[in-house]
A and B are shown apart, each in its own frame.
Chain A
Amino acid sequence: MCDQTFLAITFGPCDNCSETKPLMNIYVKNEPINYCSLCVERMACQGLGPNETLATLKTESETLKTKLEEERAKLHDAELHQVAEKVEALGQFIIKTRRTLKGHGNKVLCMDWCKDKRRIVSSSQVRPFRWRRHEHAVTMPCTWVMACAYAPSGCAVACGGLDNKCSVYPLSLDKNENLAAKKKSVAMHTNYLSACSFTNSDMQILTSSGDGTCALWDVESGQLLQSFHGHSADVLCLDLAPSETGNTFVSGGCDKKANVWDMRSGQCIQSFESHESDINSVRYYPSGDAFASGSDDATCRLFDLRADREVSVYSKDSIIFGVSSVDFSLSGRLLFGGYNDYTINVWDVLKGTRVSILFGHENRVSTLRVSPDGTAFCSGSWDHTLRIWA
């Protein structure tokens, strides 16, 4: 839409039900057909036909996957780092810890920046979760608060975890006010909440869950606006496309897939399956044309949405622990990865090489986000601290 001109869904009459709807271009037994999403779902949900067993269907699925890869490989251009050979290499990269925030009594699990570029919200394993400088602390009724997000206005935060819910807390000016009393339960999943994010306003929240789904909620009423089904295992992360008029987001899960979704229709419009293990983090490239992912397979990867394939892998033999979180620098030239071996690796996105390795944390880096104006990034760790690097 608008700045993104690669929409995969066409619009027109469905081959099956004849209604004019967004269509999916799919192949059934090598025949191209155009079905609307509802008809595709119906078809997929039909039981096994005659002569079909789970085994035959599995083989059919595998053949189609191979065919998909072949189609993709046909258009295989040079890899990104080959095209970027002539790009000037980066000089020595000096980045250090500028602030260390201690205040959580336990493992830091998640953090988010406020749009004012200076405040952060973070969540941890034990009940209290605090803002920077102990401005507020809220008692949560569950032990692992795995997701938290700042509202665009800066006037509220959302969080959740093993309680299967996402709750919104309006931020007040009175430090002594009991914020827990004003809490609003918005999202309800049937398993743990892994990630949450406000959309362009304070009024809607997007969530991902261990129940395998993502969902869009209306904050005011708690109503479910749209649900997204397509992952076959826990969904661990999500990120909204950076477009004012865009309507898509990407999610990553334990099924090793990264899926791109259309928020309006609930459909999965693109899917990428090249990681070899759980995808812990996904983040869009600043232009919205690509996204990066970090996985337990110790690699970060870059996926080009218009070419519909992976274009770069960021890995090194000496890196043997999984990536927990990734984010880009403002220009997209650098990719920061927080790892389970306590380090942060900095990658040259274009050349595919590692620019620097940052030591400092004394346990897993669980979360990492670049500030909204790109002046710094913040990392949170199981060592109970948050660090700001610049």
Chain B
Amino acid sequence: VFTFILKFQHDHKVSLPMEQVIVAMQDPDLGIKMKNQRLLITVIPHAMTGNDIVEWLMKKYSIMEEEALHVGDLLVRHGYIYPLKEPRNLVLRPDESPYRFQTPYFWSSQQWPASELDYAIYLTKKNIRKQGQLIDYEKENYNLLHKRINHTWDFVVMQAKEQLRASKQRRKADRIVLECQEQAYWLINRPPPGAFDIREHGPERRNRLTSRVQLVRLHSFIIHQKKIHDRTFIKYSEQYFSHDPMMHGCPPSNPWITDDITHWALNTNTVSTPTKLRVERWSFRFMELLSDPLGRLKFMEYLEKEFSAENLCFWEACEDIRHGENSRIPQKVQEVYKQFLAPGASKWVNVDSKTMEKTLEGLRRPNRFVMDDAQMHIYFLMKKDSYPRYLKSDLYKNLLVKAIAPQETKRSVFPFMRRHRHSSPNPALVAQALEEDGKAKRLGSPRITSPATSP
């Protein structure tokens, strides 16, 4: 019926699940019950209303009306269903408006590139059929095409006339249906400027030509399996439940909801009294304590009392090597060795002999990971020894007792209060201020309290 020069199938992954929905909708037993719809003086068979579509989706997928309308609307926008009234308006109306299924021939998953030639033929047909039926953007496209593929224009006109002649020989209802289908197809594939464009997919993927040797032997690693401990996820979620603002609220209130930034003010890194939730969290796992700058500071205070602060200092110095600039690695490694590992070092750390031997060996060719073994050893030492004792210490217990536990404010208390929204301090500004502060210290001048270090 319609001649298209190029025809090839792509794996159009977006459309396939949509097609499953469309096919289910047209199932003779469980699909939508279709009826004849009257369009002006003609009767169009196999049509349905917008309502039918929404209700079917709601029932089939057990979803609410809003979602069903959303899904149905997407089916229309992608050209699987088209409206009979107001065909240019590709939306799903949840009322008695009539719709029809697009013929699979025209599904976007068929992915012919909807060539210029085909579009030209279509526009020419429209033009011939009724002069002035083309709308502005179509007129523009028509003129552009006329220029661009002018050499084939005789063919275009000839095809258009042939197709029009063939369609005149059909029954009126069939002719109208075919015209609607074709129109819907081109509305999707050549949308008016500014309208939703189905062809937008983002940058092209799959630029690699062939799979490499990966296909071969490498798939053979079978790792020693452990049974799932599914309860780990349950335990973790339960433990953190009251700390998750989205599950449990956020004392005193979530700043994004109430515009009250107290919650953030109470939880900065420089606050003198931490909140109860925060101190509690340090007891969950060692990593929580270390990754909170305030937690780490308090832990350091404890270690100093125990005369084992060098462990944490060493660990921090190793982190600095691992994550610092490449160029400073040799220098840093030397400093760490002198301060922590060399015999008689001022902050000597107790690393076992095997690890020490290995580390010394590695020092000959210092790299980012040379301290890894020693760092791990000290980390475990702190985790298994100092950390549990810290949690039982008076220092920690006092923190917990003195910690702030703000009351959760009910939103209804402040229904109309609109607080001013302030910009948070620019971290770059804070960093600069700290640097200046540091410079001042080194130069021996009196300490300047920077106003930018606290919100």
Contacts and interface: CB of A to CB of B under 8 A. Distances in A.
Interface of A: 1-3, 6, 8, 24-28, 40, 43-45, 54, 57-58, 60-61, 64-65, 67-68, 71-72, 74-75, 77-78, 80, 83-84, 87, 90, 95, 98-99, 114-119, 133, 135, 144, 146, 153-155, 161-162, 170-173, 191-192, 199-201, 203-204, 210-212, 218-221, 223, 225, 230, 232-234, 236, 243-245, 254-255, 264, 270, 277-278, 285-287, 289-290, 296-298, 304, 306-309, 311, 316-318, 320-322, 329-334, 340-343, 349-350, 357, 359, 373-376, 382, 388, 390
B61 interface: yes
Given A318-B67, A321-B74, A43 B217 contact: yes
B319 A307 contact: no
Interface string B308-336: 00000000000100111111000000000
A171 B432 CA distance: 11
Given A154-B426, A287-B232, 5 more contacts: A57-B217, A58-B215, A236-B205, A244-B291, A278-B205
Contact of B426 (A1, A8, A65, A173): A173
Interface string B289-303: 011000000000000
Interface string B231-245: 111101101110111
Contact of B263 (A43, A329, A375): A375
Contacts of B351: none
Contacts of B319: 200, 244
B372 interface: yes
B413 interface: no
Contacts of B30: none
B6 interface: no
B interface majority secondary structure:
helix
Given A199-B323, A204-B323, A2 B224 contact: no
Contacts of A357: 67
B416 to A, nearest CB: 17
B250 interface: yes
Nearest to A43: B217
B21 A331 contact: no
B431 A155 contact: yes
Contacts of A71: 222, 225
27 contacts: A8-B221, A27-B220, A64-B220, A83-B234, A116-B427, A154-B428, A199-B323, A219-B325, A233-B206, A233-B211, A264-B369, A278-B13, A287-B236, A304-B230, A307-B226, A318-B63, A320-B17, A322-B14, A331-B237, A331-B241, A332-B233, A333-B241, A334-B244, A340-B14, A349-B233, A388-B256, A390-B246
A221 B327 CA distance: 8
A118 B264 contact: yes
Interface of B: 13-14, 17-18, 20-21, 57, 60-61, 63, 66-68, 70-71, 74, 200, 202-203, 205-208, 211-234, 236-237, 239-241, 243-247, 250, 254-257, 263-264, 267, 285-287, 290-291, 319, 322-327, 368-369, 372, 375-376, 379-380, 383, 423-432
B428 A171 contact: yes
Contact of B257 (A84, A230, A243, A390): A390
A317 B323 contact: no
A341 B211 contact: no
Given A57-B216, A243-B287, A307 B222 contact: no
Nearest to A345: B67
Nearest to A308: B223
Contact of A277 (B13, B70, B423): B13
Contact of B244 (A24, A243, A321, A329): A329
B237 A349 contact: yes
A389 B243 CA distance: 18
A95 to B, nearest CB: 7
B17 A80 contact: no
A117 B265 CA distance: 12
A192 B203 contact: yes
Contacts of B322: 200
Contact of B225 (A90, A162, A308): A308
A25 B220 CA distance: 9
A297 B20 CA distance: 13
B246 A95 contact: yes
A331 B225 contact: no
Nearest to B224: A25
Contact of B245 (A119, A232, A270, A375): A375
B203 A146 contact: yes
Nearest to A199: B323
A64 B203 CA distance: 34
Contacts of B432: 173
A202 B215 CA distance: 37
